[in-house]
Structure 1
Amino acid sequence: MYKSVLVPIAFDDDAKAEAALAVARLLAGDDGDITLLHVMEHVPGYAITYMPPDYIAQSRAAVQEELDSMAATLGHGRGVVVDGHSGRTILDYAEETGSDLIVIASHRPGMADMLIGSTATQVVRHAKCAVHVLR
């Protein structure tokens, strides 16, 4: 069993998030800690001017509330919202917190992924801990 499991949550596919949580529960066992991590990417300045003034704060609060709700079903779970680039930030967070497993959902790669790579690909290539990828 793993002691510290990190599960990045993207909120773009609820079924994949649920599947990742199920795998994390199984691999963490009864004593392992599970952290649900959502990375909020930077909103470009030209776009933020078209959004309400408190959009980022409200969005962050809503994401944190959803993560907390999901984490409450895990026993030893917690939700964390951080800012940054998704792939790099997941890797940095895993290393800083001593995660020994990352459970990450992936999508079917498209042409854009062939050119710039997906988040899951970046995590798999550069993680210093075990990575379990769900398709």
Structure 2
Amino acid sequence: MYSNILVPIALDNEDDRTAQALDIAKSLSAEGATITLLHVVEAMPSYAISYISADILSATRKGIETELARLAAEIGANSVVISGHSGRSILDYAEEQGSDLIVIASHRPGMQTLLLGSTATHVVRHANCSVHVLR
């Protein structure tokens, strides 16, 4: 059983995968464990950011924070939204917080994933703690 579990959440249309990841985190947690839901906001390319107003960016981030907090409240977890590169930011956060398990969902690999890699692959390769990958 684990006492400090990190669950990176990609807020896309895969609600069942999110629910599965949360169920896994709860089932692998020790009594009194801390579960943290983490969402990483990737930096937008400079050529695109000039077309989006600061108000829209702020409202989008607030929406992400609200949704993540709602998911966290359902299971008694913490929620955190940070900015950066997904794979590296997840690893850095897990290291800083002393996470002993990362529960991460992975997409089925396609050609792009094989060429560029995925966030889950990066986390598995470089994590200093246990990683449970949901496929």
What does residue 108 of structure 1 align with?
A: 108
Q: TM-score, normalised by structure 1?
A: 0.95
1:50 is paired with a residue whose SS is: coil
- What one-letter code is carried by the residue in structure 2 that aligns with 1:127? A
Residue 46 of structure 2 is aligned to residue 60 of structure 1: no
2:124 is paired with a residue whose SS is: helix
Q: TM-score, normalised by structure 2?
A: 0.95
CA distance in 2, matches of 1:52, 1:125: 37
Amino-acid identity (%): 57
- How many angstroms does 1:126 deviate by? 0.4
Aligned residue pair count = 134
Q: Which structure features the higher share of strand residues?
A: 2
CA distance in 1, matches of 2:49, 2:94: 29
Give the root-mean-square deviation of aligned CA atoms: 0.9
1:1-135 to structure 2, matched below 5 A, reads 1-12=1-12, 13-75=14-76, 77-135=77-135
1:61-94 CA-to-partner distances (Å, cap 9, x unmatched) read 111111111111112x111000000001000000
2:67 is paired with a residue whose SS is: helix
- What one-letter code is carried by the residue in structure 1 that aligns with 2:67? E
- How many angstroms does 1:29 deviate by? 3.7
1:82-132 CA-to-partner distances (Å, cap 9, x unmatched) read 000000100000001000000000010011111111100000000000000
- How many angstroms does 1:46 deviate by? 1.4
CA distance in 2, matches of 1:31, 1:22: 16
- What one-letter code is carried by the residue in structure 1 that aligns with 2:106? S
